[in-house]
Amino acid sequence: MSILRRYAILLGGLFVLASAPAVMADEAMSDARKAEIGDVVKSYLMAHPEVIQEALNALDQKQKDAEASAQKLALASLAGDLTKAENGVVLGNPTGDVTLVEFFDYNCGYCKKSLADIMGLMKEDPKLRLVLRDFPVLGPDSIEASLVALAVRKQFKADQYMAFHQKLLTSRGRVGKELALQAARDLGADMTQLTKDMETGDGKPLIQATMRAADSLRIGGTPSFVVGDGVMVGAVGHDTLALAIQSVRACGKATC
C-alpha cells in the first residue's frame, strides 16, 4: 500500500470532515466525535506501526531534498567567489578547466587522510585547479595556524606553499601558531614580513568569508569539497572526487 494511501487511512477523520462542510463549519466538535476519530487513528497505528517509520522516512527525505535545493541555489550564487584566487590559495594548474575547492582545517584528522587523495589528483590531472579555503572550525589553534598560512601565501609560490601545507597536515599533535611559524621559517619565509602580513593582512576577513560561504552551503565539517554543482562533505576519497571532476568536464555537473 502506498504511503499516500496509508496517510489517507491514518487521517480518515479529516477526510470525513472534508466531506461534511457543515461539520467543518462547526468549530466545537463534540468530545464523542473527537474520541471516535482518535480511536480510529490509534487502532490503525497499532495494527500498522510501520506507517510511523514510513512517515518519518518521508519527512527526512523531504528535508534532505529541501536542503539540497537550498544548497544548489547558494552554490550558484557563490560559485565565482568560491573559486577566486584572491579568496584562497590556488594550487595545481591555475588556468585549469575544472576547479576543485577544499574546505579544510589543519587539525582535522580526515583532512590529513585526504591529503594523499588531493596530491594524487593533482599529479594525475594536469588540468585540475585546486583552491584551498581555510575553514578553521576545530579551535583557536586552528584559527592561528590558518592566519599564519594565509600570510605565508603572500610570499610563497605554489610549490613552496604546497610544501608548507603538507608539513602542517603531516605533523603530529595539534597544529597552532608556533608550529605553523616554524614550518614557514624552515621553508625560508621572511619572518619579519610574515609578522607584518599577519597583523595587517586579509587573513581574518578571508576566514570570515569562508565561514559565511560554508554556512550558506550547509557545510559544517571538514574536509568538504565543491566541484561544479556538487558539494561533498567528508573524506569521500580519490575515486569519488575524480569521478566528479570527470563529470564536470563531460556535462558541466558533478553527476551527469
CATH class of 78-251: alpha beta
Half-sphere exposure of 130 (CA within 13 A, CB side): 25
- DSSP conformation class of 97: S
Per residue in 158-194, pLDDT tens? Answer: 999 999 999 999 999 999 999 999 999 999 999 999 9
Helical segments of the chain, H only:
3-10, 12-18, 21-25, 31-47, 50-83, 109-124, 140-152, 158-169, 177-186, 191-200, 203-216, 238-251
Q: How far apart are CA 68 and CA 230, in angstroms?
A: 10
- Cβ neighbourhood burial of 160 (10 Å; 0-12, 13-18, 19+): middle
Residue extents of the structural domains in the chain: 3-48, 78-251
Per residue in 130-166, pLDDT tens? Answer: 999 999 999 999 999 999 999 999 999 999 999 999 9
Task: Report, as an integer, the average pLDDT of 92-111.
Answer: 96
Per residue in 49-100, pLDDT tens? Answer: 888 888 888 887 887 777 777 778 778 878 788 889 888 999 999 999 999 9
